[in-house]
Structures are given as structure tokens and as C-alpha cells.
Amino acid sequence: MHPSVEAFALTAGLLALGAALVHRFGFPPLPIYLLTGLWVGGALPVEDLEPLPSLGLLLLLFSVGLEFGPDRLRSLSGKAVRAGFYDGLALPVGFFLGLMAGLDWRGAALLAGVIYVSSSAVIVKLIIDLRRAANPESEVVLGVSVLEDLVVLVLLALLGGQGLSGFLLSLFLATAYLASARLLGPGLVRFMESLSDELVLLLGAAFTTGTALLFQAAGASVGLGAFLAGTFAAALGLRERLERLFGPVRDLGVALFFLVVGAGARDLFQGLTPAVVVLALLGLLVKLPLNHLGGTRAGLSRKRGLYSALYLVPRGEFNLVLGALAQAQGYPLVAQVAVLLVLVSIPLGALLIRFAPDIGRWLYPKGQRAKPAQAKAP
């Protein structure tokens, strides 16, 4: 039996056990995947798990791209855009913190992205599990998370490839893909509808990985290529079918990707410094007042604005993508902050979201009216 099969069997069993434990308490499993990696990283040859973790990352970004079809972007409300403006102020704050920590402009930009972006996957799951999708703050929070993902994709295009030339080439390829979807869409949809699920799954996997390799060969961001493949598929109206087909494969690959990131962080945390802890703490704190202000400027009451700020605490998938990129480019400080933020913010954020109504009642007693702030354009 090949050693990779043994590594996979042990890893899958440990991940399943950890996920079962956290699901029992209503927490997302992402932190347990990271902690499992930290635990077994020194004893398990995680490199034998490839290419599943790398494929998991590509399928994760493909799934994010599926959520960015033209219909979803057109549905962004003015409230979300106003709140997103104030949320975006975390970027210059994070960049300044990076410069103060001694990073160059590229490292500071990566740190800014790590501090800025929240986990849309974790937030959506918690909102659905807690049955708060119809609440007014949920519309604002989900819109802000869409804007965050778009901004981080621009950062990946700028920092994950060959600088400005890679970014411009990414724009050209993106334009060509989306124009192709518009021109060839009806014919491709009819063709895909005639295929079996098995064939659609294989073609989708080949298209996603092939697009990522094309972007890599062109000196652009591999992650942006996978995201664009998902956007292309969403523009064809294939979102629901591909989400159903790719969901289980993606979840397995993503779990292994997070485990590998955790195993890589084992060496990182051996050199953990107070600066990393301070930056992670500031990363958690800096967005709370900005998101509270953004929520009230979007027309929410102060209490609902507080809810929106608490909902955006969890960090997750894109923070780890940026952290892995930072580690590959020689910025271990940024990678440490990214992993520490994820490990702390998901359980903390889950608790804050779960008890947000109780926190709101404590801060805004029943006798004290929390009037809506007047919505203003930024």
C-alpha cells in the first residue's frame, strides 16, 4: 500500500473525529482542522497528502467564484456598499500596522488583507444555523462579506502573481473569460444540460484546474484563475448544479488544506513573539468600531449595528490563503498572525454571534431606545 493512502486514512479519521466533536457544540470545524495539523504535523508526512490539499484550495476558490455571478453582484444593496466603505477602512489601518511592525509594502499589504477580510463561509453558516437570515443586519453583513472577497481577490491578483504585469494580464484573461461566457453561454448551457452528473463533475474539475494552470503560466494568481472559473460557470447559470456536485469533494479537500496549513504553522508558532499576539489582537479589535459605524450609516439601529459588527468577527478561508502566500513570499510574521486570528476568531466569533441579542440587551437596555442613525453616503 502506498504511504499516501496510510497518511490519508489516518488524517481523515482524525479530522472526522474533531469535526464530530465541534459539531456537537455548534461550532464550525475549521479551527479543529488547523489544530489537528498543529498536533500531527511533526509526526505525519503531510506532503504525502498532495495533491488533495492543493485541489481543495482551488475548489474552495472556485466555489467562491460561483457566488459572484452577475445576478449576485447586481443584488448588492446600497446599504451593503455604505457599510462596506467603513469596513474597508481596516485596510489602511492594517497597512499602517504592518509598516510599524517593520514589514515592507508587500508584507504590509498582505497583513492588511489578513486583518480586513472576514470568513463569509463561517458567517453564512452561523446565520443560517441560528435562523437569522431574515434579520435586517444579515443583509448588510452578507453584502459586506461579498465586497471583502472581491477586494481580497484584487489583492491576490496584485500580490500573488508577477506584480502589475500579472495583474494587468489577469484583467485581460478575466475579460476574455466573461466575454466568452456571454457569447457562448446559451449553447454551452444546452450542451451541459445533456451531460450526466459524472461528466459535468469531471469537466468542471478539468476546467477549474486548467484555468488555474493557465493563470500560473501567464504569471498571474492561481487562486484568481480558480475563482474566475467559478464566475464563468455562474454566468452560465450552472451555480446550483455545480454546488451540488462539487460540495463534498470541495469539503474534503478544504479540510486537508487547512490541516496542511496547520502543520506548516507548527514551525511558525515555535517562534511566536509578543508582536504577533498584539497584531492579532489589534486585528480583532480594529474592525469592531468600523463595522458598528458602517452598520449604523447603512440605516441599522445602534443595536443592529452592533450585531453586524459581531457577525464580522470570524476570520477563515481567505485569511489562510493570504497567510500561505505570505509564508511562501518570506513574511512569517503575517502567516503567524493569519493562523492565530483564525484559531481565536472562529470560536470567539461563533459565541459572539450566538449571544449577540443578549449582548445587545445588556448594552442597550429596554428602556433605552437605540435609534437608527441617518444613512449617509460615504
Q: How confident is the model at residue 50 (pLDDT cuts 50, 70, 90)?
A: confident
Report CA torsion sign: 107, 40, 34, 355. Answer: negative
Neighbour tally for 130: CB within 10 Å: 16
Rounded distance between C-alpha atoms, residue 119 and residue 103, angstroms: 25
Give the cell for residue 2.
Answer: 502506498
Compute, in degrees rounded to 10, the torsion defined by CA atoms 120, 121, 124, 126.
Answer: -120
pLDDT band at 377 (very low <50, low <70, confident <90, very high): very low
pLDDT at 91: 95
Give the range among 178-192, 206-220, 266-280 with minimum mean pLDDT: 178-192
* Angle, in degrees to the nearest 10, between helices 356-363 and 302-311: 140
CB 30 within 8 A of CB 346: yes
What is the set of domains in the chain, with CATH numbers?
A: 3-363 (1.20.1530.20)
Query: Is the pLDDT score of 373 beyond 70?
Result: no
Which of 2-16, 126-140, 278-292 holds the top average pLDDT?
Answer: 278-292
Hey, which of 33-42, 56-65, 319-328 has the most confident mean pLDDT? Answer: 319-328
Least confident piece of the model among 53-67, 164-178, 288-302, 305-319: 164-178
* Angstrom distance (rounded) from CA 41 to CA 266: 7
Please answer whether residues 80 and 245 qualify as being in contact, where contact means their C-beta atoms are separated by less than 8 angstroms.
no
What is the model's pLDDT at position 306? 92
Of 271 and 57, more confident: 57
Q: How many residues does the chain have?
A: 378
In this predicted model, what pLDDT tens digit does every residue of 86-103 receive, in sequence order? 999 999 999 999 999 999
Calpha distance 31→17 (Å, rounded)? 13
Side-chain-side CA neighbours of residue 242 (13 Å): 28
pLDDT at 370: 47
To 5 degrees, how large is the angle CA 31–CA 34–CA 35? 85
Q: What does the pLDDT read at residue 26? A: 67
Q: What are the phi and psi torsion angles at 51 (to 5°)? A: -95, 10
pLDDT band, very low/low/confident/very high, at 69 (cuts 50, 70, 90): low
pLDDT (mean) for 69-88:
77
Residue range 313-331: mean pLDDT, rounded:
87
pLDDT band with cut points at 50, 70 and 90 for residue 375 = very low
Q: Is 230 exposed, middle or buried (0-12, 13-18, 19+ CB in 10 A)?
A: buried
User: Higher model confidence: residue 179 or residue 302?
Assistant: 302
Count how many Cα atoms sit within 13 Å of the Cα of residue 279 in the half-sphere of its side chain.
Answer: 32
372: helix, strand or coil: strand
